[in-house]
Amino acid sequence: MDVLQVQGDAFSEYYLHKILPQEAKLAPRLDAPGAERSWRPITSLLRNAHRELRGSRQVRVTRRVLLDPLAELLGWRLGDPEAIQTSLGEEDGSQPLFLNGSEKAAARVLAGYPRRSLSGPSARGIAPPLRPRAQSGPRAGAGRSHLGNPAQRV
């Protein structure tokens, strides 16, 4: 089966859900019953994982409740997590992801702490990446102190 991708805001939701599936040239390529069969167990898994991870604080729970069952539903195989030595001691590292029975890893998966923002600093206290400040001129802010304008002080 070929993959159909629709990108952008060119089509309304009505068109994508009501008219497009009835298109004579496209209908043989769509597998609506197969998509429905796949969608139901995945949404159920995500709801259950969200409920179980709500009070958890451990990475292995994320792996057991979410990653392992999701990989099984999608027909993927996850290898064993590798231990890595850090300055804090031995920690769980990433695990290889194998697709379609392949023996070569397609990617590596790192289970994260439940309820942790992926864009913020990590749970171990590593600072987020620095972002340059917006400047209005070549030396914006030059000569200013943290005390403000001396003429305004009393």
Note the pLDDT tens digit of each residue in 98-142: 988 889 999 998 888 776 665 655 545 554 455 555 555 555 445
For residue 105, what pLDDT is reported?
92
Note the pLDDT tens digit of each residue in 35-51: 778 888 889 999 999 88
Q: Is residue 90 part of a domain?
A: yes
Our count of domains for the chain comes to 1
The pLDDT confidence band at residue 22, using thresholds 50, 70 and 90, is confident
Name the least confident of 38-47, 53-62, 143-152: 143-152
Q: Is residue 89 part of a domain?
A: yes
Q: Is residue 140 part of a domain?
A: no
For residue 146, what pLDDT is reported?
46
Tokens found for residue 113 = 């702490």
* Cβ–Cβ < 8 Å for 66, 51: no
For residue 45, what pLDDT is reported?
92
Which range marks the domain in which residue 77 is found? Answer: 13-116
CA-based end-to-end distance of the chain: 76
Q: Is residue 7 part of a domain?
A: no
Q: Is residue 8 part of a domain?
A: no
Q: Is residue 67 part of a domain?
A: yes
CA–CA distance, 68 with 88 (Å, rounded to integer): 27
Note the pLDDT tens digit of each residue in 75-102: 899 998 888 888 888 877 889 999 888 8
Q: Is residue 32 part of a domain?
A: yes
Q: Is residue 3 part of a domain?
A: no
CA–CA distance, 49 with 52 (Å, rounded to integer): 5
The pLDDT confidence band at residue 145, using thresholds 50, 70 and 90, is very low
DSSP symbol at 90? E
